[in-house]
Amino acid sequence: MNIAGLSLASASLMLAIFLLDINLPLGVAAGVPYLAPILISFWVPGRRFVFIIASICSILTILGYFYSPPGGIPWVVLVNRFLALFVIWLTTALILSSKKWENEAEKLSLFPRENPNPVLHARKDGYILYANPASGPFLDLLGCRMGEFLSDKCLDIIRQCSALNSSTAFEYEIGIKVFSILANPVNDGESVFVYAVDITEDKLARRKARIAAGVFESMKEGVMVTDRDGIIQYTNPAFTRITGYEMDETLGKRSGFMKSGRHDSAFYKQMWDTILEHGEWSGELWNRRKNGEIFPERITITAIKDFGGANSHYAAVFYDITDIKRKEEEIKYQAYHDPLTGLPNRLLFLDRVKKAIDRANRNKSMVAIMFLDMDYFKEINDNYGHDTGDMLLKAVGMRLVGALREVDTVSRFGGDEFTILLEDINNPSEAMKAAAKVMHALSETYFHEKRYLRVTPSVGVSIYPLDAQNEKTLLQNADRALYQAKQSGGERYRLYSSFVE
């Protein structure tokens, strides 16, 4: 019966009792209407209270018979009327409460069966009244079954929940499993519904996240994490140390805000094509620090996928390779330059000659090589020492560089031997003019340690393509021309083709 039906029944019953009391004389029969609530009380929760109240009302009615004066309607009859109304109201309220409790219990009984998580109904002493099908593994971990008692720890929580008559939430570890438990009291704390959710994976995920965060925080490499659109979500302390940007200065910005301008759009397109196709890219990038300094970094960008396999984030791990680059440049410089004068050495000089010949072929121009050494340098070095000799070699190198064009190359081959590469000349006379300038520049005196020194050069010149067809032969012919100049007394220059003819 629904609530409307119960209300109608209650009103009908109250009217019937009222009419019956008016037509019946006072006596035992006046208590008959109360038999209805007494009988009903046997099927209603809290029935003993209804029984007691209805019985008291009947006793009062019977007592009214003995103590009422003869004739008329004594005040006891009025009391009877009001008590009758109260009892019926109370009985109806209890019935409604019972129906509500039954409906809730029915809903709860349907809910647990369909729930994928463990749901238990237990008395406050821990006795399990009900367990849904999903509770099997949970009860196995607890070591109990429906119809048995819960473990001590769960029992303590249930007792606490029952005593407070309020919901209680807590985490419960069973072996390697962790459950989130919600205990909800029902029926005035006489029993408790227990709802459990396995949060083991969540706990492990949070633990892994904490470990990963700790690793990122302690890494020497910079770390930057962006969303799928390249918006920065996280940077670690090493990122700040390398770039100068604090994390709160980068959050919400696009990852390319530090671009140096040294890479073109084609470079970045190729980089992102590789990331999207293979999920990772490694290489060197030049970025800009907060102070404006451009620096090189070795970086690996990795795509992070979501559960559906789509790229959800990108993680960049990088380290500053400025020192590495500097050392590489130093090694490269040392490999291609003379340590005393800083001029290109033989290896770099020959490489430049080869490239100059290739350009001359394309431009239909000529290339000249000068091979020179210093007359009487050995005597100065022996008489005044190696320091004086080294000073003299450095000075010669500086004068040669100052006497020639920027496009020309001056090289020290070793000892007092120097070579010069003249590019993009149109005829041998240009080489002869350059040789004359060299002779003039090197013939001036040198001042060192309060003394004047004078050395003069001898120079041999060969022209491509007139005197040779490759760099090796061109250098050999310049050396031969130098020999001819020295044989002629030194302090002069000779063109290879002039004495060959």
Which tens digits make up the pLDDT trace of 189-200? 678 888 888 888
Label the pairing between strands 451-453 and 446-448: antiparallel
| Per-residue confidence (pLDDT) for residue 181, from 0 to 100 | 83
Least confident of 54-68, 202-216, 315-329, 331-345: 54-68
Other beta carbons less than 10 A from residue 253's beta carbon = 14
Other beta carbons less than 10 A from residue 185's beta carbon = 20
- Does the pLDDT at position 437 exceed 90? yes
Question: At 176, is the secondary structure helix, strand, or coil?
Answer: coil
Backbone angles phi, psi at 185, to 5 degrees: -70, 145
| Per-residue confidence (pLDDT) for residue 6, from 0 to 100 | 47
CA dist 113 and 136 (Å) reads 12
| Per-residue confidence (pLDDT) for residue 4, from 0 to 100 | 46
CA dist 390 and 396 (Å) reads 10
Nearest in space to 184 (alpha carbons), one of 119, 115, 127, 97: 119
HSE on the CB side for 371, CA within 13 Å? 27
| Per-residue confidence (pLDDT) for residue 3, from 0 to 100 | 45
Residue 389, CA distances (Å) to 145, 192, 374 in order: 101, 102, 11
Least confident of 146-160, 332-346, 357-371, 379-393: 146-160
DSSP code of residue 30: G
- Does the pLDDT at position 41 exceed 80? no
Residue 34, CA distances (Å) to 29, 67, 94 in order: 10, 20, 16
Which distant-in-sequence residues (6+ apart) come within 8 Å of 286 by Cβ?
260, 262, 263, 294, 295, 296, 297
CA dist 101 and 107 (Å) reads 10
- Does the pLDDT at position 107 exceed 60? no
- Does the pLDDT at position 235 exceed 80? yes
Nearest in space to 305 (alpha carbons), one of 295, 297, 315: 315
Question: At 374, is the secondary structure helix, strand, or coil?
Answer: strand
Whole-structure pTM value: 0.55
The mean pLDDT of 385-395, rounded to a whole number, is 93
CA dist 469 and 420 (Å) reads 18
| Mean pLDDT, the chain, whole residue set | 81
Nearest in space to 189 (alpha carbons), one of 168, 167, 169, 165: 165
Question: At 133, is the secondary structure helix, strand, or coil?
Answer: helix
| Per-residue confidence (pLDDT) for residue 153, from 0 to 100 | 63
- Does the pLDDT at position 94 exceed 70? no
pLDDT level of residue 9 (50, 70, 90 thresholds): low
| Per-residue confidence (pLDDT) for residue 2, from 0 to 100 | 45
The mean pLDDT of 284-313, rounded to a whole number, is 94
Least confident of 6-15, 141-150, 163-172, 473-482: 6-15
- Does the pLDDT at position 356 exceed 80? yes
| Per-residue confidence (pLDDT) for residue 28, from 0 to 100 | 46
Question: At 353, is the secondary structure helix, strand, or coil?
Answer: helix
Helix or strand holding residue 195 (H, E)? strand 191-198
DSSP code of residue 42: G
- Does the pLDDT at position 349 exceed 80? yes
CA dist 45 and 104 (Å) reads 14
| Per-residue confidence (pLDDT) for residue 209, from 0 to 100 | 79
**Token digits of residue 28:** 């035992």
Other beta carbons less than 10 A from residue 158's beta carbon = 26
Helix or strand holding residue 303 (H, E)? strand 294-305
The mean pLDDT of 475-496, rounded to a whole number, is 93
What's the CA angle centered on 342, arms 336 and 348, to 5 degrees? 25
Residue with structure tokens 């109806």?
Answer: 92
| Per-residue confidence (pLDDT) for residue 46, from 0 to 100 | 46
CA dist 401 and 408 (Å) reads 8
- Does the pLDDT at position 380 exceed 50? yes
**Token digits of residue 277:** 């196709």
